[in-house]
Structure 1
Amino acid sequence: MFLKDKLSRFTHQIRSCHVVFILLVLTGSYQAIAQQPRSRVDQLSDEDVQNFYRKAQASGLSEVQIEQAAMSQGYTLDDIAKMRKRMAQIRTLTSLPQNNLPPESFKGRSFPSDLSVRRDTLLPDTMRRDTSRKLKVFGASLFENAKMSFEPNLRIATPRNYVVGPDDEIKVDISGASTGAFDLKVSPDGTVKVPDLAPIFVSGLTIEQAEQRIIARLRQGGYQGLGKAGSGTSANVSLTNIRSIRVILVGEVVRPGTYTISSLGSVLNALYLAGGPNPETGSFRKIQVIRGNRVVRTLDLYDFILRADQRDNIPLRDQDVIRVADYETHVELNGQVRRPAIFEVLPGETLKTVLGFAGGFGEDAYRASITLRRNTARERRIVTITEEQIATFVPKAGDKYNVGKILERYENRVQIAGAVMRPGDYALEPGLETVKQLITRAEGLRKDAFTNRATIIRERADMDRENLSFDLGKLVRGEVADIPLQSQDSLTVLSIRDLREAYYVTIEGAVNRPDTVEFVANMSVADLIAHAGGFQEGAKPNLVEVARRIRQDSVGVRTTTQEIHRFSIDRNLKITAMEGSADNASFRLQPFDIVYVRTSINYEEQRQVNVYGEVMQPGNYVIYNRQERIGDIIQRAGGLKPEAYLAGAQFKRKGQLIGNDLRNLIADPGGEENLLLQDEDTLFIPRRSEIITVQGAVLNPASVSYKADYSFNDYISEAGGFTDNARQRKAYVNYPNGRKDRTHNFLFFTSRPHVEPGSTIVVPFKPIDSNRLSSAERIGILSLLATVSIALINVILR
């Protein structure tokens, strides 16, 4: 039997642990006693017996259950009788009433362990998710949620109308002049047993009636005046553990059958276990609770779902029957409503009621009418329900209602855009019916408005659009009649900026922030230079040029295409016009002007080269004139060290190695190898390398030591010789200074390049011939040719 939920599972485990704990107390807690099993009870002290008794009571097990557990572990009836006698003696000596529990032994309620469990609660949510897009029956999702079980809350006060039955446990607390506590379990015959008193029949009574009967019997048993005013003694009767009951679910439920629930369970609790009403056939609004062949309550789930009304969600009793009837009328409500679904309608309810079930119209709903598709005896028909008919229209089985969406248009909208203070949408209404009134409502024209022309885009009767143009300036001044507006009109007032290019000016050259900026009227050259952050250090302020477009038309074609104005400006931005230019005081920039600030002839930023390796003073050196060459920079670096190998010098420009032989540089400074220097050139003078590297199509690519008497072929032999796929005629030498020399071939003569220290010999591979025939293919072709030849010979001889 599956446990109901986590609480029931935990309770079951705790109860099992209590049994084990009691058995451990009886069998292993006192090792000295365990060695003498027949006298173990006699060996216990009074304190040990009291501790054992408190722990046994706190475990939640009855005395009968404790005795049964002890006997299953080999304890005899004599041992149990001795323990009973010892506990009775201790209670008499300490005036501890029987079944009295210490305060810390209180235990809460727990669910019975035999409750029914809904089968699909063990399935993952994804297995129960409905991905179909068809309308669902309203209310069906309430019972599809595996996280909702409608279990009763055990931490509430005992309902005063709770009906007591077998297996219930009742706690009686007596306080005041007399004290005591009793845990009473209702027996199968409906009674509870108070020690030293006759059984009390409580089955079928409410907890309030059972309390009165138990207190009355306790008064007879020695608790005089219990519960009476002025007696000083009071009693509290509460329900501790609850029993399980069995209810039957029949009719149109998902899983009809008999279910075991707690005695505090309600109708919704039982319905959830059975999966709820069957959405295809069951009624969500006529759920009957039958008790003793009589309907005691009818539950309408819509009351609970829509208003959280649980008046009819009554507690169930043992052998109650829950019957879910067939639905009578289902209607579909779709479209622009808040909860589209299939709804169940009871007699007397109207379409307005169904709209209430769906949460009413959506925000974009077309409320003027609702479209109905209704089944007739032979076919379907369309019915249009007006807004006035909704309150009285009676739905029928199979009706399908659709609430449409309002049109994406406005019945009284006019628009204004462009050079007005507040462009946007406005309502066509009294007081706003003409163009002039619309401009006034938009708080007037902007100063940049182009008043010679404005346009209205108007929608015709056939929904085509037309353009209406008019002189806005005359209309505003009242020189022409105002123009009436129509719904959907769109008025556009152009700005003067909309009718021209975007104006800008540009400054280039030796300023700190060259830029193109928006043109501003009355801007001077000095203003633009200040905007650009002033002159750079290398600027030539006495030569500032302004290039201006020729905007005025003239007769014929001009030889000049631009106007050039020159100014001399000092560091304080004081302008002096140069000869042939406009007056500096009145000169102002115009749109599209370009200002050029030149750089001084002799001003240059430092350019440097890096020299390192076998020189006396390696490091960075500035290029101080335009004629400085490689030899000059070597002399400035202090010359070469004795171990310098000039033939292997590497000269790089922009990171690329330049093949150059500098070995004759010192003896012949005017040679072509003595290149002019540029910014960021690097020169590396290495030591003489004693290594020759052989790479490529040789048997053993390797590095070998340099030998002055070795030739190219000798080094190839050092590497094992050429491979079969070597391109011997293309072999070349890569010298350490970046230069290269290849093999020279003339007829049958081959001249190999000279090898110098630090060189790399490279032997290329032959390219892979993917079209080359295999041996088998060649044999096949030869065989074919031989056969064809023989055939031709035979033909000729005939």
Structure 2
Amino acid sequence: MRYILNIILAISFVFAQDAAEIKKKIKESGLSESQIRQMAKQRGMSDAEIDAKAKELGLGDKAAEGQVSQPTIEDIPEVGAEDVSIQLPETTEQGTIQEDEQPLETIESSIEDFVQQEGLDIVEGEELDIVEDNLILESKGQPGRQAVNYYGYNIFQRDPAVFQSSVFGAVDPDYNIGPGDEIIFMLWGETQFRQVLTVDREGFIFIPEVGQVFVNGLTMDLLESKLFKVLSQRYSSLIRSNGGSATTFLDISLGDMRPLRVIVLGEVAQPGAYQVSPTTTLFSALYYFNGPTTLGSLRDIRLIRSGRQIASIDFYDYLLSGKKINDVRLQLDDTIFLPTRGKTVSISGEINRPAIYELKKGESLQELMNMAGGLRVSAYLDRAQIDRIVPPEERDALGMDRMFIDVDLGLIMNSKDDYKLKDGDKIQIFSILDLRQNIVVINGAVVRPGTF
């Protein structure tokens, strides 16, 4: 703030000097006509008295002298130079005081009167901080649906070898011997030798001094029994004689095992023949051809052998529980068939695994929520919404192709009755509001500001 000290000194020249000197002092003071007029009014002069005094001093005819019109001088009562000083703002947008502005002293006096009247406390010596707080909304708009992916299909992008059984260790007793397999048999005791034989394409092995033996399709137990009978005819010490014990013993094992060739058909990207590891099962075979496309089913994967279906697996069992239920080891020329995906629904929002799921016949909204990992703790139970495509056979009766259905999740979860879903349903689980009603917020000159 700057001070125009003793502005009355300029005004006092009206009474002490001639008109020329008064004009000079007014010009040096830098006051506008409106400022001088306002000061005169504050000292009790009327507009008529101000105009008369200006005319007397000859300050209203500047335009006649070819100059821009200047403020007029008002007749101001004589006061001492030391009586009054006026404080003006350092800078204003126009550099002038507006006529309708009240003096600072008047405003402060009005504020003090109001504070005393209302009984308010005044904080002295401290500047109060103004805290801008966001408005807490007590309502929330319905969110849009989030994009979700088909559940389970991305797992087949991994390396097939990661999901195969180990080729080391004991061979599965149910493994079927076939062309290309290496059979290792050893005799030890009274007679000793070791022989590695390869099954030919007709399924035979040739044992020196014994001849050909057909082994194709035999399991390890059956192979050992057959070879024992054949070799005991040549090596009598393999069997007990004269009530004594056998003096020669037989061991059978497998060396290198042939790869399997299987046929894959149905909803796959590249149907055809695939070569897989000899330890491959129906579950692990899916990785060789990257599983089904999203048009194919994960709930009904079929194994066909010799023209008939011998097994069907639900891959969701493996994904959700890690259990390989009804898994079967593959054999040469088996066929894997993947049918079209069945009833499909999506669930999104406040659910742990939002995705698009395939449902079996009879599975309901309750089973769907279990597959999706259950509701989040922030789920709103009083209302969920189903976006449904009306089945073709019901459209004429309802007069619509699509519809929204609001359901009470709390009632459904506590009910013993299943809530049936239809193909194409889209379920959205809403969130509770981000609103807390039992709090107060304290800020300012306190030891521990915050939310309580």
Coarse TM-score class (shorter-chain normalised): 0.5 to 0.7
Q: Does 1:213 find its partner at 2:219?
A: no
* TM alignment of 1:246-261, pairs within 5 A: 246-261=261-276
Q: Which residue of 2 aligns with 1:409?
A: 435
Shift, 1:152, TM fit:
3.4
After superposition, give the CA deviation of every residue in 1:421-464 in whole Å (9 maximum; x if it has no partner): 99876xxxxxxxxxxxxxxxxxxxxxxxxxxxxxxxxxxxxxxx
Match of 2:168?
A: 155
Q: CA deviation at 1:185?
A: 1.0
2:423 maps to which residue? 397
In structure 2, relative to structure 1, the CA distance for the partners of 1:247 and 1:147 (3 Å cut) is closer
Contact 2:264 2:335 in 1 (8 A): yes
- Decide whether the 8 Å contact of 1:249 with 1:322 is kept in 2: yes
1:234 is matched with: 249
TM-score using structure 1 length: 0.35
Report the AA paired with residue 403 of structure 1: I
8 Å Cα contact 1:178/1:223 also seen in 2: no
Question: Aligned residue for 1:383?
Answer: 405
Question: Is the counterpart of residue 184 in structure 1 residue 207 in structure 2?
Answer: no
Which residue in 2 is equivalent to 1:535?
Answer: none
Post-superposition, which runs of at least 4 consecutive aligned residues in structure 1 deviate over 6 A?
A: 418-425
Corresponding residue of 1:293: 307
Query: CA separation in 2, counterparts of 1:195 and 1:359?
Result: 62
Which residue of structure 2 aligns with residue 96 of structure 1? Answer: none
Q: CA deviation at 1:368?
A: 2.9
Distance between the aligned counterparts of 1:226 and 1:406, measured in 2?
80
Against the structure 1 CA distance between its residues 421 and 203, is the aligned structure 2 distance closer, same or farther, given a 3 Å change threshold?
same
Equivalent-residue separation in structure 1 for 2:435 and 2:381 (angstroms) = 16
Q: Deviations over 1:484-535 (max 9, x none)?
A: xxxxxx7xxxxxxxxxxxxxxxxxxxxxxxxxxxxxxxxxxxxxxxxxxxxx
Matched, 1:193 2:206: yes
Please state how far the C-alpha of 1:245 moved relative to its aligned partner: 2.4
Q: 3-state SS of the aligned residue for 1:282?
A: coil
CA-CA distance at 1:227 after TM superposition: 9.4
Distance in 1 separating the partners of 2:364 and 2:274: 37
2:41 alignment partner in structure 1: none
**Cα distance, 1:193 vs. partner?**
1.3
Q: Residues of 2 paired with 1:308 and 1:269: CA distance?
A: 13
**What is the Cα deviation at residue 314 of structure 1?**
1.3
Matched letter for residue 296 of structure 1: I
Cα shift at 1:295: 0.9
Residue equivalent to 1:145? 158
What amino acid is aligned across from residue 362 of structure 1 in structure 2? R
CA contact (8 A) 1:227 1:233 kept: no
Q: Which has the higher contact order (CA 8 A, sep 6+)?
A: 2
- The one-letter amino acid paired with 1:400 is K
Structure 1 alignment gaps of length 5 or more:
1-132, 426-489, 491-798
Which structure 2 segments of 5+ residues have no match? 1-145
- Cα shift at 1:195: 1.0
Q: CA RMSD in A?
A: 2.5
Q: Higher Cα Rg: structure 1 or 2?
A: 1
Superposed, which structure 2 residues align to 1:699-738 within 5 Å? none
Q: Is contact 1:373-1:399 (8 Å) kept?
A: yes
Deviations along 1:369-426, one digit per CA (max 9) or x if unpaired, are: 3211111234221111212224611111000011111110135x2347579999876x
Q: Per the alignment, do residues 420 and 270 of structure 1 end up closer, same or farther by CA in structure 2, a change over 3 Å counting?
A: same
Is the CA contact (8 Å cut-off) linking 1:259 and 1:270 kept in structure 2?
no
Deviation, 1:196, is: 0.6
Residue 263 (structure 1) aligned to one of 264, 269, 278: 278
AA aligned to 1:224 is S
Q: Structure 1 residue 348 and structure 2 residue 368: aligned?
A: no
Which residue pairs with 1:324 in the alignment?
338
Contact 2:179 2:258 in 1 (8 A): yes
- CA distance 1:409–1:218, shift in 2 (3 Å): same
Q: Classify the secondary structure of the residue corresponding to 2:260.
A: strand
- The one-letter code of the counterpart of 1:239 is L
SS of equivalent residue, structure 1 residue 366 = strand
Query: Within 2, Cα distance between the matches of 1:409 and 1:148?
Result: 51
**Equivalent residues of 2:276, 2:288 under 8 A apart:** no
- Cα separation, 2, equivalents of 1:395 and 1:159: 43
Match of 1:513 in 2: none
* Residue 216 of structure 2 is aligned to residue 203 of structure 1: yes
Aligned length: 292
In 2, distance between residues paired with 1:328 and 1:135? 18
Secondary structure (helix, strand or coil) at the match of 2:249 reads: strand
User: Distance between the aligned counterparts of 2:162 and 2:379, measured in 1?
Assistant: 36
Instruction: Decide whether aligned partners of structure 1 residues 424 and 245 sit closer, same or farther in structure 2, where only a CA change above 3 A counts.
Output: same
CA deviation after TM superposition for structure 1 residue 172, in Å: 1.1
**1:226/1:235 contact within 8 Å kept:** no
- Determine the C-alpha separation between the residues in 2 that align with 1:239 and 1:138: 40
Change (3 A) 1:222 1:254: same
Query: Do 2:205 and 2:212's aligned partners in 1 also have CA atoms closer than 8 Å?
Result: yes
SS at match of 2:232: helix
Deviation at 1:366, TM superposition (A): 1.9
Shift of 1:359: 0.8
Residue 308, structure 1, aligned to residue 322, structure 2:
yes
Distance 1:146 1:200, change over 3 A: closer
- Corresponding residue of 2:188: 175
Whether the 8 Å CA contact 1:374–1:383 is kept in 2: the answer is yes
Given the superposition, is the C-alpha separation of residues 179 and 421 from structure 1 closer, same or farther in structure 2, using an over 3 Å criterion?
farther
149, 157, 177: which one aligns with 1:164: 177
- For the Cα contact (< 8 Å) 1:166–1:188, is it kept in 2? yes
Q: 1:284 maps to what in 2? A: 298
Query: Deviations 1:681-714 (Å, cap 9, x if unpaired)?
Result: xxxxxxxxxxxxxxxxxxxxxxxxxxxxxxxxxx
Please state how far the C-alpha of 1:150 moved relative to its aligned partner. Answer: 2.9
1:244 paired with 2:259, answer yes
Q: Secondary structure at the match of 1:167?
A: coil
Contact 1:366 / 1:405 at 8 angstroms: preserved in 2? Answer: yes
